[in-house]
């Protein structure tokens, strides 16, 4: 056990240290506002090292996008209560997403700021589509079983995801305090919009 704690910056691999540093900087300053040497410094590596692990700045942002997208997906689906009733599942989903946004705000913000950038490559876009497709399938199941109202499959994603993203933005602004009460109301409003 040579590196005792692989979750610290020191123990993490160089590639992960670079991704971690890039996450914080891209989330806060955006893609064009973040200089590569700054990422290197924040990661504690030389500027040239980034180019050993990534195909330039664009390669870095794409690998980071996929890492974060997979992480949040895994956070929600990793222990999804598939056997519980739909309303409970929705409660679980809503809670897990909000938990992610609150505990990993940089990840959430990064994904929101970058999911439409012209620098995303085909792999990243394919992953985005894959996740969407998974969600759509779940929605179809809800409709088939009569839980959700009879509406376009995309509608539910649009309402739920749009609401959550907007809510987090306003919270980060300072326009909104994310109390338990507010979260409960938001969840309920989303469910009202969905349910048959």
Partner DNA sequence: CATGAATGAGTGTTCATTCAT
Partner DNA sequence: AATGAATGAACACTCATTCAT
Binding site for a second copy (CB under 8 A): 28-33, 116-118, 132, 149, 151-152, 154-155, 157-159, 161-167, 169-170, 173, 175-176, 181-182, 185-186, 189-190, 192-194
180: partner contacted, choices DNA, a second copy, none (Cβ within 5-8 A by kind)? none
The least distance separating DNA from the CB of residue 172, rounded to whole angstroms, comes to 24
Residue 49 CB contacts under 8 Å (≥ 6 apart), including other chains: 14, 18, 40
Residue 61 binds DNA (CB under 7 A): no
Stretch that binds DNA, among 53-61, 82-90, 96-104, 135-143 (CB under 7 A): 53-61
Is 89 among the residues that bind DNA (CB under 7 A)? Answer: no
The smaller minimum CB distance to DNA, of residues 9 and 130, is found at: 9
The count of chain residues that interact with DNA, using the rule CB under 7 A, is 19
Residue with tokens 């980060």: 172
Q: How far apart are CA 22 and CA 156, in angstroms?
A: 32
6 interacts with DNA by CB under 7 A: no
Q: Which is nearer to a second copy, 134 or 182 (CB)?
A: 182
Query: Which H or E run includes 90?
Result: helix 86-103
Residue 174 and residue 78 in contact, taking contact as beta carbons nearer than 8 Å: no
Return the half-sphere exposure (C-beta side, CA atoms, 13 A cut-off) of residue 12: 14
- Terminal Cα-to-Cα distance of the chain (whole angstroms): 55
Structure tokens at 163: 């609401």
> Which positions lie near DNA, rule CB under 7 A?
14, 34-38, 44-53, 56-58
């Amino acid at each position: 056990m040579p590196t005792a704690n692989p979750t610290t910056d020191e123990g993490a691999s160089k590639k992960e240290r670079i991704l971690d540093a890039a996450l914080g900087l891209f989330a806060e300053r955006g893609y064009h506002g973040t200089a590569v040497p700054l990422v290197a410094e924040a990661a504690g590596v030389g500027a040239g090292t980034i180019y050993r692990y990534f195909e330039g700045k664009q390669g870095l942002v794409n690998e980071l996008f996929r890492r974060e997208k997979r992480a949040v997906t895994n956070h929600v689906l990793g222990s999804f209560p598939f056997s519980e009733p739909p309303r409970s599942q929705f409660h679980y989903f809503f809670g897990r997403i909000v938990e992610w946004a609150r505990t990993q705000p940089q990840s959430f913000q990064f994904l929101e700021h970058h999911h439409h950038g012209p620098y995303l490559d085909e792999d990243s876009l394919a992953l985005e589509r894959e996740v969407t497709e998974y969600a759509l399938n779940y929605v179809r199941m809800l409709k088939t079983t009569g839980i959700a109202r009879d509406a376009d499959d995309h509608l539910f994603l649009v309402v739920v995801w749009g609401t959550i993203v907007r809510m987090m933005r306003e919270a980060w602004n300072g326009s909104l305090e994310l109390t338990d009460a507010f979260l409960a109301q938001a969840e309920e409003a989303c469910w009202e919009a969905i349910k048959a």
